[in-house]
Chain A
Amino acid sequence: MTPPLIALRGVTRSYGTGEAQVRALDGVDLTITKGEFVAIMGPSGSGKSTTMNIIGCLDRPSSGEYLFQGTPVQGLSNDQRALLRRHALGFVFQGFNLLARTSALENVELPLIYKGLPREAREARARLALEKVGLQGREDHDPSQLSGGQQQRVAIARALAGDPTVILADEPTGNLDSHRSHEIMTLLQKLNRDEGITIVMVTHEDDIAAYAGRLLIFTDGKLTRDETITPRG
């Protein structure tokens, strides 16, 4: 039996020490299989973003076990975790996190540079990724010359270009109006269905979460609900 893509076993995450210690995650068990589209919801401070950052190897659990395709991640060095991000993970952030004064094409090329692709190959792939998110013709625009929705699509193209197994999206529509939000969600849903990319998304809007096929609800650092839903659209 192949191991699940993502498995968390009794994961906790605490900040600070002693009296002031805050427990953001309190024993989370969670399994995500390949090809799922998972939405994580919950009030702020419930641990949904922390869970997402731990899955994305951007943060480390204080205790517990995290297995990625059967490999225990908590035992990996910083560089090994960087390699895992490079080859298997793509990120879409609420604040876009694009490099300023850098064209859309170059932003999308960034992960490919670290992957060691030759120049022509990475330019071709970056152009293809921008085309997939509907930004052909905007390759040379700086983030400051693009609207919020367009910037988020550049960020999705950047996540996509690295050919990831999982895309982790932290409130991807948090800074967008409702029309742009639905465009972005349709795009993510399409990537999940057509390319088979597993998507884990944090959101606090019900109609955004409705695009997913599985809904996780966090309360006070614990996973309190886990249900399969029928995706809209």
Chain B
Amino acid sequence: MIWETVRLAFTAIIRNKLRSFLTVLGVVIGVAAVIAMVTIGQGSSAQVEASVEALGTNVLIVRPGARGFGPSSGPPAPRFTTKDAEALAELSTVQYAAPVVSSSQTVVAGGANTTSQVYGTTADYLSVQNWALTGGRSFTEGEQKSGAALCILGQTVRSKLFGSADPLGETVRIKGLSCEVIGLLAVKGAGTFGQDQDEVVLMPARTVQRRLEGNQDVDSISVALRREVTAARGIAQVSEVLRERRRIGLGQTDNFSVTDMKEISSMLSGVSSVLTSLLSAVAAVSLLVGGIGIMNIMLVSVTERTREIGIRLAVGATSGQVLTQFLVEAVVLSVLGGVLGIVTGLGLAWVGTIFMAIPFAPSGAIVALAFGFSALVGVVFGYFPARNAARLDPIEALRHQ
């Protein structure tokens, strides 16, 4: 008998194609909206997290000038020199210390040119930044000391100047200086603030100082602490040495700043968690809206079918049999809608992540939640109005218009 009832349910679904379609559509929209929304949101969130990772976790940036925003009062703070970087590299808490001389320059090769950041630094910069080479080599100690005209290209600069050709051994001209390309950096992608980190040319610090800038200044020093060292201890030791080297007396304020990249990381993580909360709120609203849609279709459908319930009761169906049929119909339609909704939602999210160039990272929990909630709403609102109708005296159900 139960199989007959299940068969009746399937017959009713097939017979009322439009109604079944609308019911399924309601569930599909609810489930798909939530899954697409949250999956894209989590992709953006993962993107932010990845940028945070890329900042490096045990890195200090040392800059001249007191910390703070806006114009500083008094004479400008003295610059660092490569000697300062070398001194920091000797410290017990420090693994690498790389001076960075930055300069914005037009880089020319053949007929092509592009404007790029040029960083004068040492081979240690790659270690601090955890940046690999995809081809060629880094600078040697001797080349750094002598200020050789060599450079390592970032991927954006490479593609703008050389297209798909191999630039190793070729020559680029920067401010009249011919440099041999000896290495290629791996792709780093967009930075935390959206800047293109691959639009960069690395050269020995001395080369940039003497041939491009014409001075001895170092703009900043990137310091990688040893793994076991806490940021606080590292900062304390670095500051102490720099105060000594810059002859800052007791009671005088530092004329340099030491920034722990972890602070920036935690700030960005904060942004990312706000983003996640926002998306959760959007998802909750989507679920609610989807749920109301499903509820409406189910209620309208059951109201419309009250007379059918009356007919079935009149010809001898028990209310239990009528209810089983409606329950099976509601479950089948909700589950079908849920499955189609998952497929549609993931598909939309996938297309969205491709357009937004963010990682596609669907979450099983959200898929399960969206499916579970919509299916529950579908079943509850398919079942309970039917239960009320089946409890009526048949004549009342039959009189229902």
User: Taking beta carbons and an 8 Å cutoff, which residues of A are in contact with B?
Assistant: 53, 56-60, 78-79, 82-83, 85-87, 89, 91, 93, 97-99, 101-102, 106, 110-111, 113-116, 158, 162
Q: Which one of B1, B315, B393 lies within 8 Å of A158 (CB-CB)?
A: B315
B15 touches A97 (CB 8 A): no
The residue of chain A having its C-beta at the shortest distance from the C-beta of B320 within the complex is A79
Check if B393 sits within 8 Å of A111, measured CB to CB.
Answer: no
Chain A contacts for B236, CB-based, 8 A: none
Binds A, one of B182-190, B194-202, B252-260, B305-313: B305-313
Given contacts A82-B318, A85-B315, A162-B315, contact A97 B4 (CB under 8 A): no
Partner of A85, one of B11, B314, B391: B314
B314 touches A58 (CB 8 A): yes
Q: Is there an interface contact between A114 and B15, defined as CB atoms closer than 8 Å? A: no
Please indicate the chain B residues that have their CB under 8 angstroms from the CB of A89 in the complex. Answer: 316
The answer on a CB contact under 8 Å between B311 and A82 is: no
Known interface pairs A99-B308, A113-B4; A86-B315 also in contact (CB < 8 Å): yes
Q: Chain B binding site: helix, strand, loop or mixed by DSSP?
A: helix
B319 adjacent to chain A (CB < 8 Å): yes
Instruction: Give the shortest distance, in Å, between A216 (CB) and chain B (any CB).
Output: 20
- Given A97-B311, A116-B1, the answer on whether A111 and B395 have CB atoms closer than 8 Å is no
Complex partner residue of A101 from B15, B393, B394, CB under 8 angstroms: B15
Identify B316's interface contact among A78, A101, A115, CB under 8 A: A115
Among B314, B316, B391, chain A packs the most CB atoms within 10 A around the CB of B316
Question: 14 additional contacts, CB 8 Å, given A110-B311, A113-B8?
Answer: A58-B314, A58-B395, A78-B391, A79-B319, A79-B320, A86-B315, A86-B317, A89-B316, A97-B310, A98-B311, A101-B15, A101-B16, A111-B316, A116-B4
B321 at the binding interface (Cβ < 8 Å): yes
The residue of chain B having its C-beta at the shortest distance from the C-beta of A91 within the complex is B314
- Knowing A58-B395, A79-B320, the reply to whether A111 touches B16 (Cβ < 8 A) is no
The answer to whether B395 touches A114, judged by C-beta atoms less than 8 angstroms apart, is no
Q: Which residues of A contact B313 (CB under 8 A)?
A: 82, 85
B312 near A78 with CB under 8 A, answer: no
Chain A residues with CB under 8 Å of B15's CB are 101-102
- Number of B interface residues at 8 Å Cβ cutoff, please give it: 25
Name the contact of A110 in the complex, choosing from B315, B394, B395 (C-beta under 8 A).
Answer: B315
Asked whether any CB of chain A lies closer than 8 Å to the CB of B133, the reply is no
Of residues A58, A102, A115, which shows the largest number of chain B Cβ atoms within 10 Å of its Cβ?
Answer: A58
- B393: A residues at CB distance < 8 A: 58-60
Smallest CB separation, A202 vs chain B (Å): 13
Query: Shortest 4 CB-CB distances between A and B: which pairs?
Result: A86-B316, A58-B395, A111-B315, A82-B318
Per the 8 Å Cβ criterion, residues 308-337 of B in contact with A are 308, 310-321
> Considering only CB atoms, which chain B residue lies closest to A84 in the complex?
B316
Take A58-B314, A91-B314 as given contacts and tell me if A97 and B398 are in contact as well, using a CB distance cutoff of 8 Å: yes
- Which residues of B293-311 have CB atoms within 8 Å of chain A's CB atoms? 307-308, 310-311
- In the complex the two chains form, what is the Cα distance from A162 to B311 in whole Å? 14
Cβ of B16 to closest chain A Cβ, rounded Å: 7
- What are 26 A-B pairs with beta-carbon distances under 8 A? A57-B394, A58-B314, A60-B393, A79-B318, A79-B320, A82-B313, A82-B316, A82-B319, A83-B316, A83-B318, A86-B315, A87-B316, A89-B316, A97-B307, A97-B314, A97-B398, A98-B311, A110-B311, A110-B315, A111-B315, A113-B4, A114-B315, A114-B318, A116-B1, A162-B315, A162-B316
What's the nearest-Cβ distance from chain B to residue A231, in Å? 27
Considering the complex, which residues of chain B in the window 1-56 have a beta carbon less than 8 Å from any beta carbon of chain A?
1, 4, 8, 11, 15-16
* A114:B317 contact, CB within 8 angstroms: yes
Kindly state the separation between the CA atoms of A162 and B321 in the bound complex, as whole angstroms.
18
- In the bound complex, residues from chain B placing their C-beta under 8 Å from that of A86 are 315-317
